[in-house]
Structure 1
Amino acid sequence: MDILAGIQGWFSLHDIHVPIIVLSGLREAKTNEDAGGVKDSAHLRGGACDLTVPGVPVEYLSKLALYLQGGGVGVYPTRSFIHVDDGKMRSWRG
């Protein structure tokens, strides 16, 4: 939640009022498997979120999430979302 609050705060600070669309949060094991998630995914314990913000490029969102240093950040440009989690700082492209 901290990283989501940070993203929302960044936009609010710059007088940009846009919704954060949560595509996936806590997942059951079967749903995680069907989504292609890894076996020890942070989604399984509610520690991850896949999100998008209408009109904001995923490359921008991923840079913002990395700047906020809240944990892992994955960017999925062909699917137009980013993944953030509360794990160690790392980044990847999916």
Structure 2
Amino acid sequence: MSMTVVVTRNVSPRMRGFLASTMLELAPGVYSAPRLSPAVRARIWAVLEEWFAYEQDTSMISSLAYAGIDPRRLGDYALARKLPRTRGDRPSG
């Protein structure tokens, strides 16, 4: 049995709605599902990867934990993209 957690920052309503439809939203931007099959988890992640390309100034991390496995050996998967500031974005003064 596995526990999947996805933590997001500054994602679009489309992505929040999709995650909320597939997982329980524990707090704003924090989603969890205690029993996702590997196939369902892979499909969810595939959608997130595809939609992530259209997000701006967004970050997301997913963690997967299996019962009975040493937490120091967990595999983490992350997507993060920070767009560089342009000259017009810098505060004046």
Query: Which TM-score applies when normalising by structure 1?
Result: 0.33
Query: Which TM-score applies when normalising by structure 2?
Result: 0.33
Structure with more of its chain in strand, by fraction: 2
Greater RCO structure (CA 8 Å; 6+ sep): 2
